[in-house]
Structure formats: structure tokens, C-alpha cells
Amino acid sequence: MHEKPYRSVVKTISWRALGTLDTVVISYLITGSFAMAASIGSIELITKMVLFYFHERAWNRISFGRVKKDIDYHI
């Protein structure tokens, strides 16, 4: 099965929203500064979305771990 690029974009955005929230919370707990935590989260949001998109598209080209579904014809 082939995934279209827009599916990767939507998955990228939803995953990064969750991941960035995690990063901001952890950064705040470590630094005690919301401004610093938001700065770290903002930078991380952009860089990791770009990285994830290209990672996802590369994996979409690899057949490793995929199984083709057989069409079962019953008469």
C-alpha cells in the first residue's frame, strides 16, 4: 500500500504537536523558565517536523516489513 505525501504531512504535524508539548514541559521542569522552554520548543518544532517528513517519505519507499495483500476470489 502506498501513502500519499499529504498523509505524511498530517502525521508530521500531529506527532510534532505532541512531541513539542513534551519538550516544552521537560524544558520548563529543567530550566524553571517558561520563556526558555518555549524557545526550545519552538526551535525543536520546526527542525523535527522537517526531519520527520523526510524520514517518513524515505520509509515509504522501503518495502521492509510490508506485506502485499492477496486478493482472494471465491466463486
Query: So what's the pLDDT on residue 12?
Result: 78
Cell triple for residue 44?
Answer: 525543536
Model confidence at 1: pLDDT above 70: no
pTM, entire model? 0.61
Predicted confidence band of residue 63 (pLDDT cuts 50, 70, 90): confident
Q: Is the pLDDT of residue 74 over 70?
A: no
Query: Domain map of the chain by residue range?
Result: 5-60
The cell 505532541 sits on which residue?
A: 18
Backbone angles phi, psi at 24, to 5 degrees: -65, -45
Can you tell me the distance from the alpha carbon of 58 to that of 66, in angstroms, rounded to the nearest whole number? 14
- In this predicted model, which residue has the larger pLDDT, 72 or 44? 44
Compute the average pLDDT of residues 48-67. Answer: 87
Q: Compute the average pLDDT of residues 19-46.
A: 95
